Structure 1
Amino acid sequence: MAQSANADLKTRLQNWIPKLVLSPSLAVILVFVYGFILFSVYLSFTDSRILPSYGWVGWENYSKLWRLSHWEISLTNMGIFALLYITLCTAIGLGLAIFLDQKIRGEGMLRPLYLYPMALSFIVTGTAWKWFLDPGIGLENVMHTWGWESFKFDWIKNRDYAIYTVVLAAVWQTSGFVMAMFLAGLRGIDNEILKAAQMDGASNWNLYRRIIIPQLRPAFLSAFVILSHLAIKTFDLVIALTGGGPGRATELPATFMYSYTFTRNQMGIGSASATIMLMAIAAIMVPYLYSELREKR
């Protein structure tokens, strides 16, 4: 009887100890992540300015937000950035994955080389690309030093092209990560299916177009969700690379939110923009998580 009671107590301890160990972390996450998210949503309906205020103004901040030309500029820049960023990262990542999947010599060296940029922070990437693209000290200056006086590459100083420098830096950093996702998908395809198709006379082009790429649908979906999330919340890369300039040529919703909350002292409008960004991310993540859970069931 005593042995049974001891065994029962031991089982309960084994069940409860992990919960007790994790409970402080979960409590901190609930308060400092989800709690402050809800607090920010609440502030978007108040007349908060330099400090939180609790005067209820309803949808007034959202109405003001959509009348601001700065917000429209940030959304336009986001559209350009997200479209190019997601498309180029997906195309380059898939191309690199297919290249490495050919069992080439030196794959063990190339794979970490492609993945290395993702190990850097966006601040480091933005600073490095800022130096590289600066006409005074970067690529343009080097070309002039080598005697190519007509060479000109001043996109980072040009209002019409500055947003594309952000795309270049972001694609450089993230393509290797997308490559790893696609490479894992390629290595998970059954070789017997590929051998059967080759025996039937399928060319490499048809092999990839009709068999391999369609089976990478989960990798495509995961890459789209992750890249969309990164695009919407991009902040530190822009701050380090262009500071949102020249003018407002590279301002994105995240930099808009920061400037209106902490520089212009319009916390209510800043919270409204943050809430809209949250809804945009949720619109992408919730259907994805729902489909994943449904497939597991």
Structure 2
Amino acid sequence: MTPRRTSSLAALADRWIPKLVLSPSILVSLVFVYGFIAITGYLSISKSRLMPNYTFAGLDRYVQLFDNDVWWRSAKNLGWFGIPFIAICVGLGLLLAILLDQKIRNEGALRAVFLYPMALSFIVTGTAWQWILNPDLGLPKIIQDWGWKGFSFSWIDDPDKAIFCIVIAAVWQSTGFVMALFLAGLRGVDSEVFKAAQVDGAGLVTIYRKIVIPSMRPVFFSVLLILCHLTIKTFDLVIAMTSGGPGNSTYLPAIFMYTFSFNRGELGVGAASSMMMLATVVAVLVPLMYMESRSTRNAA
């Protein structure tokens, strides 16, 4: 075989082998992700109730969804849950990462302690925190038995405050992961930056606030994207802790979708709520991606 033919075969292999390797994954994604999204989208404009019914119904299911008070309560709860959850995770995770970045003793053990909750399933976390926050059996009862008889913490039974118990459990589980992402970003900062800033007389707080943290924009983008995704799809944590109660005070869109699709025989309404959740993801994702791409272009 001539060298020219050998080189042409090698070029052909370099061109097609990556496509052949990736094609099964692309096909699976097209069918089981985008295909099912398309099916759900059509069910949301169909007459589906207990079983799929592919008769076109226009926007009737969306009108039915927007007339449902439970849906609006779920959407409101998403804000009350998501905003504190994301803000606390970002702030606390960044603080823990900065503290660990100071090369403290037993850093590996501390990292493991902070990351351990992420190894648990949300069902386990929800069940554990349901017991911890139980006024009659958990931490409030233990503190009262220690002598503080007047201590009371019954948020989990209060319809106006139960959603914040979900925030507490979610923050406990996710902060360690956020810390690990920020710590990886901090470890990627050149140590010469610290030395040069210290030579100029900048203190450690100033270095982090004005130099290091602004340079970690891509890490913030990743953290916000992951936390927004976790917020919108939160389901099992709430089911394990409160089952959506008291009443529907801790309902989130994912629980609404499941309940109406499978428990109340309103498959079309459940599909409409799923599409609204997808629209929420897109509404969060697109601005984040735009800001990240714009900052990358400006930096270039």
Does the C-alpha gap of structure 1 residues 221 and 23 become closer, same or farther in structure 2, counting only changes over 3 Å? closer
Greater displacement, 5-14 / 200-209: 5-14
Corresponding residue number in structure 1 for 2:40: 40
Post-superposition Cα deviations, 1:149-184, rounded to whole Å, max 9, x if no partner, equal 222121111111100010001001110111111111
Correspondence for 2:160? 160
Q: Which amino acid aligns with 1:150?
A: G
1:73 positional shift: 0.6
Alpha-carbon distance, 1:32 to partner: 1.8
2:219 corresponding residue in structure 1: 219
Query: Are the counterparts in 1 of residues 238 and 244 from structure 2 also a CA contact under 8 Å?
Result: yes
Mapping 1:181-220, distance limit 5 Å: 181-220=181-220
Please tell me whether residue 56 in structure 1 is matched to residue 79 in structure 2: no
Identity, in percent, stands at: 53
CA distance in structure 2 between the partners assigned to 1:105 and 1:186 by the alignment: 18
**Structure 2 counterpart of 1:89, which letter?**
C
Residue 132 of structure 2 is matched in structure 1 by: 132
Residue 75 of structure 1 aligns with which residue? 75
CA pair 18-197 structure 1, distance change in 2 beyond 3 A: closer
Task: State the 1:289 CA deviation.
Answer: 4.3
Distance 1:84 1:64 in 2: 30
Is the aligned partner of 1:106 residue 2:106? yes
SS at match of 2:213: helix
Distance 1:205 1:12, change over 3 A: closer
Separation of aligned partners in 1, 2:176 and 2:275: 31
What is the deviation of 1:10? 6.9
Residue matched to 1:271: 271
Q: 244-253 or 19-28, which moves further after superposition?
A: 19-28
Question: Structure 1, residues 214-258: CA drift from partner, whole Å, max 9, x if none?
Answer: 112222222111111110111111111111001011001110111
Corresponding letter in the other structure for 1:92:
L
Distance 1:51 1:291 in 2: 42
Larger displacement relative to structure 2 (136-145 or 54-63): 136-145
In 2: Cα distance, 1:113 partner to 1:139 partner? 21
Q: Which residue of 2 aligns with 1:261?
A: 261
Question: Which of 81-90 and 213-222 deviates more?
Answer: 213-222
In the alignment, the residues of structure 1 paired with residue 290 and residue 213 of structure 2 have an alpha-carbon distance, to the nearest angstrom, of 24
- Give the distance between the partners of 1:243 and 1:49, measured in 2 at CA: 23
Using the size of structure 2 for normalisation, the TM-score is 0.90
Change over 3 Å in CA distance of 1:167–1:206 after alignment to 2: same
Q: 1:143 to 1:189 in 2, by over 3 A?
A: same
Q: Which moved more, 1:216-225 or 1:96-105?
A: 216-225
**Matched AA of 1:112:** A
Is the alpha carbon distance of 1:211 and 1:11 closer, same or farther for their aligned partners in structure 2, counting shifts above 3 Å? closer
Structure 2 letter corresponding to 1:88: I
Residue in 2 aligned with 1:249?
Answer: 249
d(CA) in 2 for partners of 1:205, 1:20:
51
In structure 2, the residue matched to 1:146 is 146
SS in 2 for 1:215: helix
8 A Cα contact 2:43 2:52, kept in partner: yes
Q: Which amino acid aligns with 2:263?
A: T
2: distance between equivalents of 1:136 and 1:26? 52
Which segments of 5 or more consecutive residues in structure 1 lack a partner in the other structure?
Answer: none
CA displacement at 1:148 relative to structure 2: 2.7
Q: Deviations 1:236-291 (Å, cap 9, x if unpaired)? A: 11111111001011001110111111111111111111001101112222344456
Number of aligned residues: 297
Deviation at 1:33, TM superposition (A): 1.8
1:57 shift after superposition:
1.5
Q: Which moved more, 1:181-190 or 1:18-27?
A: 18-27
Q: Give how far 1:24 is off.
A: 3.8
Of 11-20 and 205-214, more deviation after overlay is shown by 11-20
- Could you give the per-residue CA deviations for residues 199-226 of structure 1, whole angstroms, max 9, x where no partner exists? 1211223222221221122222221111
RMSD after superposition: 2.2
Distance in 1 of aligned mates of 2:293 and 2:198: 35
Report the more deviating stretch, 116-125 or 5-14: 5-14
| Alignment partner of 1:84 is 2:56 | no
